[in-house]
């Protein structure tokens, strides 16, 4: 290159600096976007890995069905490939604050694995201190220095888990194990863990570790997203699996031993209790009997007393009568006495007279004795004897009369005495009656009370005896069950889980994959357009300088020397732009994207920007190739012309008729301006193509951006809005008896808000065909016909046809069918898990619509045929009232005895919606990209358009076109091209969207490929807005066109 040419080159750059800059910037943008977005996904993963390593996050977690022992930890530590192993305790507990109940996951503080980052305060130093995470503080409203009070929320005692129930918050910490705000689910409270409470190990009273955390030797040096990590993981997992059986057997033996001794204790205790209960009951019966006897004797006493009173009363009644009759008797007796006295007197008089007569007769006889014959004497003596006997008789009669008088007198006396005494005696008797009656009343009341008490006592006794009986039976059953359990106890199992079981790990990886998918397609489009724009600009530059090229050629410069200027120009601008773009893009875009994701993944503490040099080099190389190639191609074409022709102005471009003119139908209908616009469109084919490409790219980017959101959003909407017609799943303890289960279901049905339920057998199974295999939920409804009310069974493709679950075969979900590569009528093999032996084959009777997870719906009959046993129901799908509070229902359900888990669809839906929020990042990137793309392309093309047609436009101004008319003349073409571009963009976007959804689809989710009408509208509108913006800016350039240009000679 000569000195003159170097000077010319420098001046060229200086002179056309805006063009130089424009190529530079376009290259920079293209490369920045290409390299930046492509570097975002690796940077995200590297950041996550660095964060994990900084906290020594567990590589493998082992959960045992019977817990893990210290021996297990020791054994694990000795394994090859295991660097560290530490047992931890976990327990979901409730923490009741003033306002709400918070579900807290209590974790034991670790020493070496899953290290906590203290953000505030310090680590707990004593067993009644704790450190919590931000989510817990937010949910509970506590702050540092407050005391957390924990309880189990079930019948379990807290002392079985923790030694203390109150813990002082001494610090706030975060862990990358929970990178986002998802803390998992719980079987208590509303079913969702709100935050972490981390407590020193010493505070836990559990005998066995809940899980053992394991780190692998050399894993920290690897990216946990790399294949070598996976290889290491598989190796270590195999090592762990190799000791599983032995450890589990030891655990089972220990369990049996513990359980047996516990059972014996329980039996002894039971016997003691039973004996005591029986003796207590006997005593109670005896007491009952005694009181009954007492009551009986009391009753007899009352009877007696009642007789006494009656007697007294009778006495009292006859007393009065007797007084009357006594008085009469006395009167009669007096009369009788009088009569007797008269009789006596008469008798005494008679006696006196008789005695006197006798005396007289004796005296007479004496006197006459001598005178009278013996006979007569005798006679007269006899007469005297007889008369004396009569007197004697009379005399003898006298005492009898006297006696009678005395007797009557006595009677009178008695009667008189009676009459005299009677009033006093009556008063006494009345008193006694009153007293007796009072006593009687009291005694009767006492008896009554005694009877009531007795009845009650009898009832109590009966109840107590029934209860005791039931208790004893239940206790016996329990003992029997425990014994059965011990006897039937199966070998415990280990669950060896890697990091994919950590929900935030999986979610973050998913997001990184989404960004990667975005990175595979969009930067390429973007880059392509940028490259094409640069190319066009270079071509234009060469064409503008044809006269100069001709002159140089005429002066004898070689083609190479002449080309060098343009190549150098292109190279310099593109290279600087590329380097700038690569540097900025790789530094800024991943940072921007990661920082945006950190709004969600708040515990992603490290941000690592990995330099993806390859992406930058590829981008820069392609950019240089495009512009330099364009410059070379254009200059070579020009160089082949003769210098003379080059020095003449280029022949005006040939006007051409376009095919449309042959179609009178259209052409004749167009007005002049439209015709001119149509012809102009086809005149600048390159511009036409580029504009359409740019606009189409913009629309496509927008459509894909919105479309991704639509498709993902469709999953919960379709799943929970159209497919699933139940609102939750209740898991029941499998060991419940039939009666207990019935009781449980009755309680479930009575929970406020629950309208109906359907019992099912729900288990996780593994299905396999020759073409694919995956895990799926197997659902066996108790009532086959009712399943249709809970799940809308219909074919996946439109128009949906309803399906029915029959004994014909199983129904499987669409994505599942796709993964297994089966269609209706094919057979699938069912296994319990991946490594288990096949259970059997079933026929696919239908493939039904479903978007989340995989399901196999099976009738009880098929289940029985397949497994050889009746499906034991272990879950219930529930339907709730519209608008019912899912959280409250879950809480109530979890309180029911025997309910082991509650999953409310509302929660799942909420989680998915939160995930959707993350997609906003992608959409924002898309809109930004689309806007930039539209701007770059349209601005550049409009610029070229106006520059190329400066003279034409100036002429039109001279001819008297108003500004508006002039703009319309130019814009008419732009509008048509933009509209055409939009149509192409919609088609392109539709196809790209399909491609992207295929790329980011995960195994468990079937994304819809549908894009909402509104998204089409927004894509179109935004494109129009971008285009309008560019055209608006161009309007000012149009206005500035100097009419004097029209007078200048043709370049």
Partner 1 sequence: MSFIEMKNVTKTYRMGEVEIKALDEVGFGIEKGEFVVIVGPSGAGKTTILNILGGMDTATSGEIYVDNETITQFDEKALTTYRRDDVGFVFQFYNLIGNLTAVENVELALQISQNPLSAKTVLQEVGLGNRMDNFPAQLSGGEQQRVSIARALAKNPKLLLCDEPTGALDYITGKSILKLLQDTCREKGVTIVVITHNLAIAPMADKVIKVKNGKIDQILMNKRPTPVEYIEW
Cβ(723)–Cβ(892) under 8 Å?
Answer: no
Q: Does 666 bind partner 1 (CB under 8 A)?
A: no
What are residue 406's phi and psi, to 5 degrees? -55, -45
Rounded Cα–Cα distance for residues 206 and 448 (Å): 59
Closer by beta carbon to partner 1, 293 or else 1044: 1044
For residue 922, what are its two tokens? 């992608």
**CA atoms within 13 Å, Cβ hemisphere of 418:** 18
675 scored as a contact of partner 1 (CB under 8 A) = yes
How many other C-beta atoms can be found within 10 angstroms of the C-beta atom of residue 387?
17
Nearest distance from residue 681's CB to partner 1, in Å? 10
Q: Which residues contact 782 (CB under 8 A, 6 or more apart)?
A: 758, 759, 760, 860, 873
Residue range at the interface with partner 1 (CB under 8 A); choices 509-517, 585-593, 650-658, 877-885: 650-658
Nearer to partner 1, 625 or 958 (CB): 958
Binding segment (CB under 8 A) for partner 1, from list 42-50, 201-209, 820-828, 952-960: 952-960
- 3-class SS shares of the chain: helix, strand, coil, % to 5: 65, 15, 20
Q: Which of 635, 654, 632, 630 is nearest to 646 (CA)?
A: 635
Longest CA span, the chain? 250
Annotate each residue in 835-874 with x if it binds partner 1 (CB under 8 A) or - if it does not, as one string.
Answer: ----------------------------------------
Whole-number minimum distance, CB 548 to partner 1, in Å?
Answer: 20
Closest CB to partner 1 among residues 611, 676: 676
Which H or E run includes 832?
A: none
How near is the Cβ of 953 to partner 1 at its closest, in Å? 10
The CA-atom distances, in angstroms, between 997 and each of 300, 708, 993, 1031 are 98, 7, 6, 34
Q: Tell me how crowded residue 399 is: count the other CB atoms within 10 A of its CB.
A: 11
Region of 111-119, 288-296, 881-889, 961-969 interacting with partner 1 (CB under 8 A) = 961-969
Give one DSSP letter per residue of 576-617, joined into a string: HHHHHHHHHHHHHHHHHHHHHHHTT-TT---------HHHHH
Backbone angles phi, psi at 805, to 5 degrees: -85, 120
Residue 1051 Cβ, how far from partner 1 at the closest point, in Å? 11
Our CB check for partner 1 shows the closer of 14 and 99 to be 14
Residue 809, Ramachandran bin (φ over 0: left; ψ between -120 and 50: alpha; else beta): left
For partner 1, the binding residue among 389, 489, 785, 958 (CB under 8 A) is: 958
**Closer of 659 and 672 to partner 1 (Cβ):** 672
Closest separation between CB of residue 935 and partner 1, Å? 27
Q: Which of 522, 512, 506, 584 is nearest to 46 (CA)?
A: 512
Least Cα distance to 726 among 491, 995, 498, 906 occurs for: 906
162, 186, 187, 60: which is closest to 114 by C-alpha?
60
Q: Would you count residue 482 as binding partner 1 (CB under 8 A)?
A: no
- Work out whether the CA dihedral 160, 165, 169, 170 comes out positive or negative: negative
By the rule CB under 8 A, 680 interacts with partner 1: yes
Q: What is the DSSP string of 402-453?
A: HHHHHHHHHHHHHHHHHHHHHHHHHHHHHHHHHHHHHHHHHHHHHHHHHHHH
Among positions 123, 422, 867, 961, the unique one binding partner 1 when judged by CB under 8 A: 961
Per-residue DSSP letters for 77-126? Answer: HTSTTEEEEEEE-EEEEEEE-SS-EEEEEEEEPPSSSSPPEEEEE----S
Q: Which of 959, 991, 1021, 1025 binds partner 1 (CB under 8 A)?
A: 959
Q: Is 676 in the site for partner 1 (CB under 8 A)?
A: yes
Q: Which stretch binds partner 1 (CB under 8 A): 98-106, 240-248, 282-290, 652-660?
A: 652-660
How far is 849 from 659, CA to CA, in rounded Å?
49
Nearer to partner 1, 172 or 1041 (CB): 1041
Rule CB under 8 A: choose which of 962, 1013, 1036, 1040 binds partner 1: 962
- Rounded to the nearest angstrom, the gap between the alpha carbon of residue 399 and the centroid of all alpha carbons in its chain is 126
Q: Among 371, 672, 798, 1036, which residue sits at the site for partner 1 (rule: CB under 8 A)?
A: 672
Residue 651 found at the interface with partner 1 (CB under 8 A): yes
Minimal distance, residue 1006 CB to partner 1, in Å: 53
Residue 459 vs 1042, nearer CB to partner 1? 1042
3-state secondary structure of 142: coil
Stretch that binds partner 1, among 84-92, 143-151, 197-205, 948-956 (CB under 8 A): 948-956
Nearest approach, Cβ of residue 529 and partner 1 (Å): 26
Q: Is 547 in the site for partner 1 (CB under 8 A)?
A: no
The reply on whether position 371 binds partner 1 by CB under 8 A is: no
Length in residues, the chain? 1051
For 18, the token pair is 């805006």
Binding segment for partner 1 among 212-220, 506-514, 533-541, 679-687 (CB under 8 A)? Answer: 679-687
Residue closer to partner 1 (CB basis): 506 or 673: 673
Say whether 927 sits in a helix, a strand or coil: helix
Within residues 1012-1051, the interface with partner 1 by CB under 8 A covers 1043-1044, 1046-1050
Judged by CB under 8 A, does residue 652 bind partner 1?
yes
DSSP assignment, residue 722? Answer: I
Of the residues 432, 952, 976, 1001, which one makes contact with partner 1 according to CB under 8 A: 952
Interface with partner 1 includes 673 (CB under 8 A)? yes
* Contact call for residues 504 and 180 (beta carbons, < 8 A): yes
Candidate list 38, 499, 957, 993; residue touching partner 1; CB under 8 A: 957
How many residues bind partner 1 (CB under 8 A)? The answer is 32
Sequence-separated (6 or more) residues with CB below 8 Å from residue 897: 155, 744
Nearer to partner 1, 671 or 835 (CB): 671
For partner 1, the closer of residues 402 and 1042 by Cβ is 1042
Nearest residue (CB) to partner 1, 606 versus 679:
679
735 to each of 375, 457, 869, 899, how far by Cα in Å?
A: 147, 39, 16, 11
For position 653 contacting partner 1 by CB under 8 A, the verdict is: yes
Neighbours of 982 (CB within 10 A): 26
| Closer of 201 and 675 to partner 1 (Cβ) | 675
Under rule CB under 8 A, which residues in 436-455 are in contact with partner 1? none
Only one of the segments 285-293, 503-511, 719-727, 957-965 lies at the binding site for partner 1 (rule: CB under 8 A); that segment is 957-965
Q: Taking contact as CB under 8 A, which single stretch among the options 16-24, 463-471, 645-653, 915-923 is the one that binds partner 1? A: 645-653
The answer to the question of residue 572 lying near partner 1 (CB under 8 A) is: no
Q: How far is the CB of 225 from partner 1 (least distance, A)?
A: 58
> Who's near 41: CB < 8 A, 6+ residues apart?
512, 513, 515, 516, 519
Residue 955 in contact with partner 1, rule: CB under 8 A: yes
Which residue in 654, 668, 739, 1013 binds partner 1 (CB under 8 A)?
A: 654
* Of 563 and 680, CB closest to partner 1: 680
| Chain position carrying tokens 């295991």 | 82
- Shortest distance in whole angstroms from residue 671 CB to partner 1: 9
Q: Does 993 bind partner 1 (CB under 8 A)?
A: no
Which of 305, 747, 951, 1012: binder of partner 1 (CB under 8 A)?
Answer: 951
Q: Is 656 in the site for partner 1 (CB under 8 A)?
A: yes
Helices 546-554 + 613-639 axis angle, to 10: 70
Report, in Å, the least distance between residue 672 CB and partner 1: 6
State the residues that interact with partner 1 by CB under 8 A: 651-656, 672-673, 675-676, 679-680, 683, 951-952, 955-963, 965, 1043-1044, 1046-1050
């Amino acid at each position: 290159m000569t000195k003159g040419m170097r000077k010319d080159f420098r001046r060229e750059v200086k002179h056309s600096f805006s063009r130089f800059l424009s190529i530079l910037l376009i290259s920079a943008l293209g490369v920045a976007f290409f390299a930046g977005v492509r570097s975002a996904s690796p940077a995200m993963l590297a950041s996550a890995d660095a964060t994990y390593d900084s906290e020594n996050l567990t590589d493998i977690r082992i959960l045992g069905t019977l817990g893990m022992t210290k021996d297990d930890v020791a054994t694990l530590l000795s394994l090859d490939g295991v660097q560290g192993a530490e047992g931890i305790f976990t327990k979901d507990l409730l923490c009741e604050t003033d306002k709400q109940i918070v579900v807290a996951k209590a974790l034991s503080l670790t020493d070496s694995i899953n290290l906590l980052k203290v953000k505030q305060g310090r680590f707990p130093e004593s067993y009644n201190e704790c450190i919590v995470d931000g989510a817990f503080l937010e949910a509970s409203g506590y702050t540092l220095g407050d005391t957390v009070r924990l309880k189990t929320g079930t019948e379990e005692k807290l002392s079985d888990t923790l030694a203390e129930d109150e813990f002082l918050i001494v610090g706030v910490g975060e862990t990358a194990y929970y990178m986002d705000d998802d803390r998992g689910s719980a079987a208590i409270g509303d079913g969702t863990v709100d935050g972490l409470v981390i407590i020193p190990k010493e505070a836990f009273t559990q005998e066995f570790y809940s899980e053992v955390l394991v780190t692998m030797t050399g894993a920290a040096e690897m990216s946990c997203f790399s294949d070598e990590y996976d290889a290491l993981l598989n190796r270590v997992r195999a090592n762990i699996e190799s000791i599983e059986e032995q450890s589990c057997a030891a655990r089972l033996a220990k369990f049996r031993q513990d359980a047996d001794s516990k059972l014996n204790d329980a039996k002894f205790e039971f016997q003691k209790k039973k004996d005591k209960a029986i003796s207590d009951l006997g005593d109670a019966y005896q007491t009952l009997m005694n009181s009954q006897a007492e009551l009986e004797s009391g009753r007899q006493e009352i009877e007696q007393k009642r007789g006494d009173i009656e007697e007294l009363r009778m006495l009292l009644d006859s007393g009065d009568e007797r007084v009357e009759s006594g008085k009469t008797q006395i009167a009669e007796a007096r009369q009788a006495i009088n009569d007797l006295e008269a009789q006596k007197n008469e008798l005494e008089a008679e006696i006196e007279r008789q005695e006197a007569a006798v005396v007289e007769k004796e005296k007479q006889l004496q006197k006459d004795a001598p005178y009278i014959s013996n006979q007569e004497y005798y006679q007269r003596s006899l007469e005297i004897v007889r008369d004396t006997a009569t007197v004697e008789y009379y005399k003898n009669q006298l005492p009898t009369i006297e006696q009678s008088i005395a007797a009557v007198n006595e009677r009178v006396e008695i009667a008189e005495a009676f009459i005299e005494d009677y009033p006093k005696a009556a008063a006494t008797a009345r008193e006694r009656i009153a007293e007796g009656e009072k006593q009687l009343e009291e005694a009767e009341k006492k008896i009554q009370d005694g009877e009531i008490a007795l009845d009650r006592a009898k009832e109590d006794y009966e109840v107590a005896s029934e209860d005791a009986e039931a208790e004893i039976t239940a206790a016996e059953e329990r003992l029997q069950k425990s014994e059965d359990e011990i006897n039937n106890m199966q070998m415990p199992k280990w669950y060896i889980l890697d990091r994919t079981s950590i929900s935030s790990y999986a979610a973050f990886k998913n997001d990184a994959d989404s960004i990667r998918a975005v990175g595979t397609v969009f930067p390429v489009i973007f880059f392509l357009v940028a490259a094409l724009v640069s190319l066009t600009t270079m071509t234009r530059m060469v064409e503008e300088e044809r006269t100069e090229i001709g002159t140089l050629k005429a002066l004898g410069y070689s083609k190479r020397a002449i080309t060098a200027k343009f190549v150098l120009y292109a190279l310099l601008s593109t290279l600087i732009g590329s380097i700038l773009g690569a540097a900025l893009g790789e530094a800024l875009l991943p940072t921007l994207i990661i920082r945006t994701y950190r709004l969600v993944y708040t515990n992603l503490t490290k941000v690592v920007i990995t330099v993806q040099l390859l992406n930058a080099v590829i981008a820069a190389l392609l950019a240089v190739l495009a512009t330099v190639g364009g410059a070379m191609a254009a200059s070579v074409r020009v160089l082949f012309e003769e210098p003379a022709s080059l020095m003449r102005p280029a022949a005006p471009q040939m006007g051409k008729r376009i095919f449309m003119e042959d179609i009178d139908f259209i052409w004749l209908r167009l007005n002049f301006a439209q015709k001119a616009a149509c012809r102009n469109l086809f005149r600048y084919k390159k511009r036409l193509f580029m504009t359409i490409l740019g606009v189409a790219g913009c629309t496509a980017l927008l459509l894909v951006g919105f479309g991704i959101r639509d498709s993902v959003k469709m999953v919960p909407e379709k799943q929970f809005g159209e497919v699933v017609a139940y609102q939750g799943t209740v898991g029941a303890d499998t060991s419940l008896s039939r009666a207990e289960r019935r009781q449980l279901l009755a309680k479930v049905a009575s929970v406020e808000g629950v309208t109906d339920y359907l019992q099912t057998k729900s288990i996780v199974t593994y299905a396999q065909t020759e073409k694919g295999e995956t895990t799926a939920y197997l659902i066996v409804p108790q009532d086959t016909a009712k399943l249709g009310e809970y799940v809308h069974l219909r074919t996946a493709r439109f128009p949906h046809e309803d399906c029915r679950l029959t004994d014909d075969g199983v129904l499987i979900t669409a994505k599942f069918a796709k993964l297994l590569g089966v269609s209706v009528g094919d057979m699938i093999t069912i296994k319990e898990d991946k490594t288990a032996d096949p259970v059997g084959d079933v026929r696919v009777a239908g493939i039904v619509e479903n978007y989340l997870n995989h399901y196999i719906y099976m009738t009880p009959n098929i289940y029985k045929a397949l497994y050889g046993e009746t499906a034991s129901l272990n879950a219930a799908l529930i339907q709730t009232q519209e608008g019912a509070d899912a959280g409250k229902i879950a809480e109530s359900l979890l309180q029911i005895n025997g309910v082991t888990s509650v999953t409310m669809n509302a929660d799942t839906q909420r989680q998915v919606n939160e995930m959707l929020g993350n997609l906003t990042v992608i959409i924002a990137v898309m809109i930004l990209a689309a806007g930039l793309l539209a701007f770059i392309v349209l601005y550049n093309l409009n610029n070229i358009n106006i520059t190329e047609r400066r003279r034409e436009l100036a002429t039109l101004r001279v001819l008297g076109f108003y500004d508006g008319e002039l703009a319309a003349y130019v814009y008419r073409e732009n509008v048509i091209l933009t509209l055409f571009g939009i149509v192409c963009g919609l088609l392109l976007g539709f196809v790209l969207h399909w491609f992207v959804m295929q790329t980011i689809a995960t195994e468990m989710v079937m994304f819809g490929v549908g894009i909402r009408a509104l998204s089409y509208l927004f894509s179109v509108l935004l494109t129009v807005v971008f285009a309008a913006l560019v055209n608006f800016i161009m309007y000012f350039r149009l206005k500035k066109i100097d009419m004097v240009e029209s007078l200048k000679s043709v370049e």
